[in-house]
Structure formats: structure tokens, C-alpha cells
Structure 1
Amino acid sequence: MTPVKVLVADGTPSLRECTREGLEKSCLRIEVHEAGSGREARAKLESGGFDLVLCGGEMPDMKGHELLQWIRNHPVLKDIPFILLAEKGDRDEVVRAIHAGVNGYVVKPFTIEALLQKMAGVDDRFDRRRSGRFEMNGEVTFHFEGGAARGVLVDLSTGGVLALLASRGPLPRILERVLIDIRLDNGLSTAGLKGFIIRIQAAEAFQSSDQVKFAVKFQENDEGQVRELKHLVRSLSEIVS
């Protein structure tokens, strides 16, 4: 599957870097490019292949709505989705961008989760509820303050995991932080993934009353762990595709 190609154009290097790193950690197949000025953004866009533009309201040589106007008047690039990364309090720039045909906007400072929700509104390839989650066979171990619990996987994505744990013995609580070890039946594994419990549900409808279904959201994993997780999920996507 071809990666989704995104351009982040903004005059602040730290914002571009944080946005790129956050998107790369959150999305399975994404290719993020940076531009520090309007001139650089136009050159990269004309090189072709971009699926989405994330653009700040202020750049050294132009405003965000000016880049948007150039895109909308371009014979080839005019239909590229455009999300404005608006400065807090800069209502005028948001209004100008709306008149120029912006697809959406978020206000700085923003979270990657909020940005992804906005991106999913213009391109469902960024909707993690609709893609990137796969059923599989494997084992899981939850490590938490009260001990450890073993169980079976239900499904897995780069954002989290669902698992069935035996109701006998210690179990983690809602919102409790956990470390998770995963071993798939295809031989791939990873250990020590950080996350927290976001949902606990009795499992009578799934297998038997002596199991509990746990949903975990991954959070604060380092680059090596994220790479291993993506490798696991990618191996599953290749099996089902």
C-alpha cells in the first residue's frame, strides 16, 4: 500500500518536527515532508504526489491563506485538502482561509490526537477507527502495579490493543498504566509497550464468563517500540490484504 504523503508547512521548526514525529508514530503508512517557507512549500508541492497540506498561518514570506489561494488557483494542485494550523486569537486568518477554500483548521497549540481527528474529517485514511486494526491469534501479558495477567489477543493496531484476560487473579483497573508484552502466532513479538486501560467489559458475549475484555491505548512509547509495533501491525495487514 502506498504511504499517504503529507506536507507540513510552518515557520517554526519545532512545530514542524513535533507534528512530523507525532504523525509518524500514530499512522502506519505515512510520509511526512516539511517546508519552512511558502516558497519551499510551493516547490515541494509542484514536485507532485502530496495528499494533504498542513499549513501554519504565518511563514517568513507569506501567510497560510496566501499559500492556499495559490493551491486553489493551480491547475493540477487545486483539489489537495488543506488544513490550517492557526495561531491562537488570529480569527482574521481563519476567516481568510475559509473564504479561500480551506478544508479545516486547528488552533495552536494542538495535540496530535486533535489534528488526526481533523485530518480524518477530510481523508478517511487517517481515521484510525476505520482502518489499521486487525484480528489475529496470539498471546498478551499485562504488567501492572498489582501483578501480571495473561490472556489472548482480540485485535491490534498502532493505537492500541484489545485482549481477553482470565477473571481469576489480579487484574488492572480502569485508567491504570500497564506494560504489555505481545507474541503473535506467526512468531513476531514485542515487549514493554506502554499504555493505559481505557475500557473494561465482561466477556460473556465473546467466549465465557470467566474472561474480561480489556481495551488499552498505547502512549509514550519510544521510537524503537513504535517501530516494532508498526512491524507487527504491518505483518498482519500484509496477511489480510
Structure 2
Amino acid sequence: METQRSMSKLNILVVDDARFIRERVTSMVREAFPDFSVMAVENGTEATRAMQQKRFDLILCDWEMPEMSGLEVLQWTRSQDDYKQTPFLMVTSRGEREYVLKAIQAGVNDYLGKPFTREQLVQKMVKALDKRQQLSPEQQARAAAMLEADKKATPAEASAPAKMRSKPKGLAQLRNSEQTFRCAIKDLNLREVKVVIKNEGAFPQVLEQVVVDIEQLSGDSVARINGFITSIQATEQKLDAAYVDVNVFFMDDDPDKLAHLSKYIASVR
């Protein structure tokens, strides 16, 4: 393996079992750092194989994957002499304290919660690579300019979460990179969900990446499903409609999540 890397040509490894997220992260990295080389793989086994064949300078890895979890990839990475100090960013919809602590104990450098914006991803990458002085002044300037442009293009969203109204098919939380919406489930299958949120002036956007936390009727969490918004529509033809329907298409192919989802669907049908 090579032991020295060119500051202008770093190798980035993206690991995620959801194709949409792999493509999205790859696109974000290439837009921010066009001189980087980006490789994307769909599971931990492919990730460890790739790391044995090529030297990577930063790893962006999902936590919840079949066969080999992101935590197991991290533990394997830190057991390798060539990767003991390599920046490793865990990208996941799990934000509970116990999961964060496990990742820290295993040697993670930083934690990026799904869903996330390009600004948040680039900030984490710059922070990780700057610590090892792996970014050239030109790369730092380009990243800073892109972050500033993103701030100007994205208006600030209201911080208060929207309230929901009860529906017989259950409750959920819809999370984008800035806000959490309490919502009620109107319809649900293994590929998509329709939820309703109260109109309080702040909405997610069409094609925006989100996480849907579906809850059991008892209040226990069932699954955190990654997806993207396919449509948003007012529930009535009024400018001040009180509620809005949001359709989310699921991107997760995790067998465990799909199994939980199947049981939940059967329980509310």
C-alpha cells in the first residue's frame, strides 16, 4: 500500500447498503472536492475488501447494514495497522447515546446523523481532514465557498416540531436535516408511507432525504427507515389548509427493518 497521499488527490470510501444514499453522498463529495477519488460499496464485506486493495484517506460508513454493521467495519478498520489513524465518519439514523458511545469506544472520529445536508457532510469532512492537514489551501477555499453558498441558498426553518393528529394506523416522526415533524400514518406498505403533518408554516421538501421513525401503538420504536419525499399535498383546497399529506418512498433494503415493518403493517391492517 502507498504510505503517502497527494494533498490534491485523496481517496474517499463510501459504505451504505441504500443505493440512493450511496449515490447522493458520492455526488456531494465530488461536488465539494472534484479532485478527490470516490469509491462507493454497498456493504461492510465489500468495504474491508476494498481497503485491503487500496489505501483510503477517509471512510464514510453507514451503521445499519446487513451481514456486517458499520460498527464492525469500524472495529476491523482500527485493527489494521494502515488504518488505525484514518478518519472514519459514522453516517446513521441512530442517534441514541448508547450507539454514539459504542462508536466512540471503537475509535470513530465523528458522527453524522441521517438525514443530512451537503453543508453538514462537507463540514464534517473538512474537520476530519484538516486535523491531519490533508487539505490543500485551494481545497479549503473551495469547501468554504460552497458552504457559504449553501447557507445563502437555504432559508432558516422554524425550530419547533409540528404537532400531529391521531390516526388509526399509528404514529411516526419524520426527520429531515433540520427538523423533526410529529405525524400520523395514513397509509403504509413495504415501499412507501403516507403521513399527515400539521401546517405550521415549515415543511420538508420534495426529493429531500428523510428518516421515518415508526412507532408501535404502545409508543415503542419499530424502525428507522431511510427514504426521500416524493410528494407533498394539502389535505384541502384552501390556502390555509390545516394539514398536509407527505409521501415518502423507502430506500432501505435491510432485511431486519423490512421484517419489523411487515409485522407492524400486519398489526394495523
Q: Report the TM-score range of the alignment, normalised by the length of the smaller protein.
A: 0.5 to 0.7
| Corresponding residue of 2:32 | 26
Contact 1:9 1:37 in 2 (8 A): yes
Distance (Å, rounded) in 1 between the aligned partners of 2:103 and 2:140: 34
CA RMSD of aligned residues (A): 3.2
Contact 2:88 2:110 in 1 (8 A): yes
Q: Does 1:14 align with 2:20?
A: yes
2:11 to 5, 8, 17: 5
| Corresponding residue of 1:166 | none
Distance (Å, rounded) in 2 between the aligned partners of 1:11 and 1:160: 27
Q: Which has the higher strand share?
A: 1
| Corresponding residue of 1:131 | 138
| Corresponding residue of 1:108 | 114
| Corresponding residue of 1:159 | 146
Task: Identify unmatched segments of 5+ residues in structure 2.
Answer: 1-5, 154-269
Deviation at 1:126, TM superposition (A): 7.7
Distance (Å, rounded) in 1 between the aligned partners of 2:10 and 2:125: 12
Deviation at 1:78, TM superposition (A): 1.9
Distance (Å, rounded) in 2 between the aligned partners of 1:133 and 1:123: 10
| Corresponding residue of 1:38 | 44
Contact 2:119 2:147 in 1 (8 A): no
Q: Does 1:64 align with 2:51?
A: no
Contact 2:126 2:140 in 1 (8 A): no
Distance (Å, rounded) in 2 between the aligned partners of 1:53 and 1:64: 11
Give the aligned length.
144
Correspondence 1:92-241 to 2 at 5 A: 92-124=98-130, 130-132=137-139, 159=146
| Residues 65/88 of structure 1: CA separation in 2 closer, same or farther (3 Å cut) | closer
Distance (Å, rounded) in 2 between the aligned partners of 1:160 and 1:123: 16
Deviation at 1:35, TM superposition (A): 1.2
Whichever of the two has the greater Rg, that structure is 1
Contact 1:26 1:158 in 2 (8 A): no
Deviation at 1:90, TM superposition (A): 4.1
- Equivalent residue letter for 1:53: I
Deviation at 1:127, TM superposition (A): 6.5
Deviation at 1:63, TM superposition (A): 1.7
| Residues 45/7 of structure 1: CA separation in 2 closer, same or farther (3 Å cut) | same
Distance (Å, rounded) in 1 between the aligned partners of 2:55 and 2:129: 15
TM-score w.r.t. the length of structure 2 is 0.47
- Equivalent residue letter for 2:82: V
| Residues 4/113 of structure 1: CA separation in 2 closer, same or farther (3 Å cut) | same
Correspondence 1:84-95 to 2 at 5 A: 84-95=90-101
Task: Identify unmatched segments of 5+ residues in structure 1.
Answer: 135-154, 162-174, 177-241
Deviation at 1:159, TM superposition (A): 3.3
